[in-house]
Amino acid sequence: MVSSLHVLRQGTMLATLGKTAIGALRQSRQRAHEPGAARPPVTTPSAEITRTFAPLSPRLLDDYVQHVGGDPRAYRNEVPPHFFPHWAMPVAAPTLRDLPYPLTRVLNGGCRVQINQPLPRNEALIVRGKLTDIDEDERRVVLTQRVVTGTASAPNALMTDIYAIVPLGGGKDKGKAAKEKPRVPSDAHEIASFRLGSDAGLSFAKLTGDFNPIHWIPLAARAAGFPNVILHGFGTLARAYEALNRGVFGGDVHRLKVLDVKFTRPLVLPHDLSVFVRAHGADSEVFVGDALGGPAYMTGRFETGERS
C-alpha cells in the first residue's frame, strides 16, 4: 500500500490541477456567454516557461518505482524517466492557458519520451516547457507540448512531447463506419502481466500528485461516462516501461532511449493486464492489452539507439 504521507510532497502538482480546473471552467462559462464567437489565432511555438524544482525525495522515488513494477536499486543514483509527469505537468499546463478550445474536455493522448542521458538524483531539476504544435480538424485538436528536463550536470537529459487531445464534436460522417480501435496483434508476444486493483489510480495519484477524480472517485468516473475509475495513462506508460526493462533488456534501465505511445482506450479498474512486444530490430512495437487479438489500451514504439 502506498503511504498517504507522499501527498504532502504534491503541493506543486495539486496547485497546478486547481489552477487548470478553475481556468478551464472560467473559459467554458465565457464560451457559453459568447456562443459562435470566432476563435482568435494561436501561434506556435509558444513562449518557453522555465521552472526549477528541488531534488526529489529518495523515498518517493523508490516507492514510485516499486509501485509500477520496477527495481528501486536500478535507479539508485538517478530519477526514472517515466516519473516526468510529476514535474512536467506544472510546467506544461500554463502553455495551454487562454487557448480557444474547450479544455474541460481535454484527454491524455499519449507522449514521446527521449532519454539522452540519465537524470541525476540529488540535483535540482531545471525544466523548460512550451506548446510546439497545434493540429486541428473538425473532430479534434491535438496540442503538442515539449518539456525538456535537466540538471546542472545534465542539462538536456530528458525530452518529452505530451499529446493533449481536445474533442470538438464536429465532422461526423454518418456514411462511414467508425474507425476500429487498435488491438494487440496476434503475432506479438507477452513479456509481462499484472493485476491492477480498484485502488491503483489512488496509489498513482499519491505518488505523482495527479488527483483527477476520475482516477480514484467512482462517482466522478461514472459522471464522466466510465463504469468505474480509470487508470492514469501515465500509469499505463510507467508499467509498460518497466516491463520492457525487465522483459526485453534484462533489467538494464539504460537500454531504452525512445518510447512513443498513444493511449487508445480508457483502462477501467480493477483489471488484469499484459504487456506485449512485436520486434522490428532497433525500432520495435509495444502494446498493453488483455490478450493477443484483444483490445489495446496503449500502443507504441520503442528504440534502443542501437543500429545494426
Q: Where are the domains of the chain?
A: 9-28+41-167, 189-303
Q: How confident is the model at residue 37 (pLDDT cuts 50, 70, 90)?
A: low
Report yes or no: 253 and 75 within 8 Å, Cβ to Cβ: yes
Task: Tell me the Ramachandran region of residue 251: left when phi exceeds 0, alpha when psi lies from -120 to 50, beta otherwise.
Answer: left
| Residue given cell 498517504 in the structure block | 4
pLDDT exceeds 90 at position 9: no
Please state the rounded mean pLDDT for residues 231-243: 98
**Distant-in-sequence, close-in-space partners of 235: CB < 8 Å, separation ≥ 6:** 68, 200, 201, 204
The alpha-carbon radius of gyration of the chain (Å, integer) is 19
Report yes or no: 273 and 291 within 8 Å, Cβ to Cβ: no
Report yes or no: 49 and 128 within 8 Å, Cβ to Cβ: yes
Report yes or no: 224 and 265 within 8 Å, Cβ to Cβ: no
Q: What is the per-residue pLDDT for 286? A: 98
Please state the rounded mean pLDDT for residues 83-98: 92
pLDDT exceeds 90 at position 23: no
Please state the rounded mean pLDDT for residues 156-171: 90
Q: Return the C-alpha cell found at 172.
A: 461526423
pLDDT exceeds 90 at position 13: no
Name the percent of the chain lying above pLDDT 90.
76
Please state the rounded mean pLDDT for residues 41-57: 91
d(CA 207, CA 188): 32
Pick one of 3.50.50.60, 3.10.129.10, 3.40.50.300, 3.40.50.150 as the CATH number of 189-303: 3.10.129.10
Q: Where are the alpha helices (DSSP H) in the chain?
A: 11-33, 58-67, 85-92, 200-208, 218-223, 233-247
Q: Do domains 9-28+41-167 and 189-303 have the same CATH topology?
A: yes
Q: What is the per-residue pLDDT for 31? A: 55
DSSP 8: G
Q: What is the per-residue pLDDT for 11? A: 83
Q: What is the per-residue pLDDT for 308? A: 46
Please state the rounded mean pLDDT for residues 31-55: 76
- Contacts for 35-38 with beta carbons within 8 Å, 24 or more apart? none
Please state the rounded mean pLDDT for residues 197-224: 96
Which CATH topology does 9-28+41-167 take? Thiol Ester Dehydrase; Chain A (3.10.129)
In this prediction the pTM is 0.91
Q: What is the per-residue pLDDT for 44? A: 86
Average pLDDT, the chain: 90
**Distant-in-sequence, close-in-space partners of 88: CB < 8 Å, separation ≥ 6:** 127, 129, 147, 149, 160, 162
Please state the rounded mean pLDDT for residues 84-93: 94
Per-residue model confidence as pLDDT tens digits over 109-152:
999 999 999 999 999 999 999 999 999 999 999 999 999 999 99
Report yes or no: 56 and 13 within 8 Å, Cβ to Cβ: no
pLDDT exceeds 90 at position 233: yes
Please state the rounded mean pLDDT for residues 158-180: 78
pLDDT exceeds 70 at position 174: no
